[in-house]
């Protein structure tokens, strides 16, 4: 039996891998649900709400992304979100009115808006799948749309097993 050297065909293929997890927020996301502060989960009483906010240890939110939302269908006045944000401002890295899913969509949208896609001109690109973090599907869709004018081909998955997404026709 002849001993042939192992050749890593994936490494030699010229594939460029983009892992959207690399763009995941570096700061911890922490949710602040207004539901526990509502009277009968329906009504926000200003006096009680202000008193409750004074009792919160805002330092525990230090250097985190605060996601302010309400998990019930109650009508929440805009000032309530402002009040939470104002109390947390000296401690948090950032305040956002919405859920973690909404925040991640906004975060990835902003990250992909500043990405320079010209670097992928005529390249074979694999968008890494199987995320361990909650990368929104919208980020994959936007990445694909932004890559398409530049890339020779776009694939999804792992370099050893991909699903073809786009292939530029050859110019004769």
Q: What are the residues whose beta carbons fall under 8 Å from the beta carbon of 172, sequence distance 6 or more? A: none
β-pair partners for 65 = 29, 94
Per-residue pLDDT of the chain (172 residues; tens, 9 = 90+): 566 554 434 444 589 999 999 999 999 999 999 999 999 889 999 999 999 999 999 999 999 999 999 999 999 999 999 999 999 999 999 999 999 999 999 999 999 999 999 999 999 999 998 878 999 999 999 999 999 999 999 999 987 789 999 999 876 6
Rounded CA-CA distance 82/143 in Å is 33
* DSSP 8-class letter at 68: E
Contact 69, 34 (CB under 8 A): yes
């Amino acid at each position: 039996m002849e001993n042939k050297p192992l050749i890593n065909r994936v490494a030699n293929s010229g594939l460029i891998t983009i892992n959207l997890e690399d763009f995941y927020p570096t700061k911890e996301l922490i949710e602040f649900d207004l539901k526990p502060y509502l009277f009968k989960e329906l009504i926000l009483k200003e006096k009680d709400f202000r008193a409750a906010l004074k009792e919160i240890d805002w330092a525990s939110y230090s250097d985190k992304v605060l996601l302010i939302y309400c998990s019930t269908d109650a009508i929440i006045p805009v000032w309530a979100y402002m009040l939470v944000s104002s109390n947390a401002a000296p401690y948090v890295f950032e305040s956002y009115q919405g859920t973690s899913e909404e925040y991640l969509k906004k975060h990835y949208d902003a990250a992909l808006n500043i990405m320079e896609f010209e670097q992928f001109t005529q390249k074979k690109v694999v968008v890494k799948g199987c995320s361990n973090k909650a990368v929104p599907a919208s980020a994959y869709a936007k990445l694909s749309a932004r890559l398409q004018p530049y890339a020779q081909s776009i694939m999804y998955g792992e370099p050893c097993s991909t699903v073809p997404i786009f292939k530029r026709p050859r110019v004769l």
